[in-house]
Amino acid sequence: MIDFQHEKCIGVLGGGQLGRMLAIEARRMGFRVVQWTGGEESGAERMADQVITKPFDDQGALEEFVEAADFATVEFENIPFQLVEHIQERVPTFPKAASVKICQDRQLEKEFLRDHDIPTADFRIVESAEELATARSEIQGDVIIKTAQFGYDGKGQMAVPADDARFTEELWKPFEGVRCIVEKKIQLVAELSVMVVRGQDGEIVTFDPAENEHKDHILHLSIVPARLPINFLIEARQIAETLVRSLDYVGVIGVEFFLDNEGNLLVNEMAPRPHNSGHHTLDACETSQFEQQARVVAGLPIGSTTLIKPVVMLNLLGDLWKSPKEAPDWNPILSLDGGKLHLYGKGEAKAKRKMGHATFLGETVEVALEKALSILP
């Protein structure tokens, strides 16, 4: 038997598609990967050298993980930050627990932005119907209620138009007992995101901003380069860099922006890990967001973020499947020049579930977009 123990091992907390793509890139670079999935069936486990499926509060699993890993990272922000704290005492871990803690709680995240003078939509912290009424009258206009924790893809959110005449008690009912933020609804001109990579030594690079189109609060398309005036793209990169430095963040982080109808760039939220709007970097950039994460975690130099070709990324949701086990015909994607398919190995398709993505490279972003749109039903 060959002894592979000399290869350094990256420990990944979480078992979703981000962990899977990270494992693929890390193993290509000669790392071993231990994936602690916490029990969710996902498709990530098949790409790892070692898999731990026990829940995140299992002491034996913690020992197994720190024993196997030379360094650790998260692929999912809802890993209990206390667990990340325990792990970082034993093995070098990036991002740090303090950053994960802020990014996994909308209240801490929004307060961090406000305290650092980083522009963001007006908000209030709300824990009762009474506070909701006060927040609505102070913010004025349409608002969105968001649970402070565990939201994703628009889950845990409710839009409340200014003229919604329902009683406050009725609006608050679904959120009873839950800490929330109430946020001003922004008149969106565009949504952007900037992937930032910061090394252990503080070196910082950004990828070209992505222009993101959502459908039902779920990312639908990412378009790079973004079709917006260059001043917005420069400003978004600058704000993202300032934010990441203020957070003293180490690793890969996605910073989501709103562009409003008055030309303001507002930070929406941060994701302390590779991000869906950075998937195009696998096919269209000199270094992918996943390779960057492996490099930072292992203390290696950060790679170039240069975009090699204009690209559009299209999310493939379970809705496209003919039945839970019957995938659509991929030939239309694969027969296009510059069409690439990524599937996440999830056992069963469900509505709104992210099953994979496709990227479309083109000589111009318009050509890439045309290819992406051509395969949609």
Task: Provide the binding-site residues for ligand ADP, judged by CB under 6 A.
Answer: 121, 144, 151-154, 183, 185-186, 188, 191, 214, 217, 256, 268-269
Q: In the complex with ligand ADP, which residue's Cβ is closer, 200 or 264? A: 264
Q: In the complex with ligand ADP, which residue's Cβ is closer, 105 or 256? A: 256
Q: In the complex with ligand ADP, which residue's Cβ is closer, 97 or 182? A: 182
Strand pairing class (188-198; 251-260)? antiparallel
Cβ of residue 251: shortest distance to ligand ADP, in angstroms? 19
Cβ of residue 27: shortest distance to ligand ADP, in angstroms? 29
With contact defined as beta carbons under 8 Å apart, do 232 and 238 qualify? Answer: no
Cβ of residue 30: shortest distance to ligand ADP, in angstroms? 34
The token pair at 95 is 């991002």
Q: In the complex with ligand ADP, which residue's Cβ is closer, 53 or 149? A: 149
Give dist(CA 80, CA 57) in Å, integer.
Answer: 9
Q: In the complex with ligand ADP, which residue's Cβ is closer, 183 or 208? A: 183
Cβ of residue 148: shortest distance to ligand ADP, in angstroms? 11
Phi first, then psi: give them for residue 269, nearest 5 degrees: -160, 170
Distances in Å between the alpha carbon of 38 and those of 151, 235, 271, 352? 18, 38, 19, 22
Distances in Å between the alpha carbon of 90 and those of 53, 93, 116, 292, 315? 20, 9, 31, 23, 37
Cβ of residue 367: shortest distance to ligand ADP, in angstroms? 26
Q: Concatenated DSSP letters for 242-253?
A: HHHHHTT--EEE
Close Cβ partners of 366 (under 8 Å, ≥ 6 residues apart)? none
Give dist(CA 63, CA 103) in Å, integer.
Answer: 26
Q: In the complex with ligand ADP, which residue's Cβ is closer, 131 or 153? A: 153
Cβ of residue 260: shortest distance to ligand ADP, in angstroms? 9
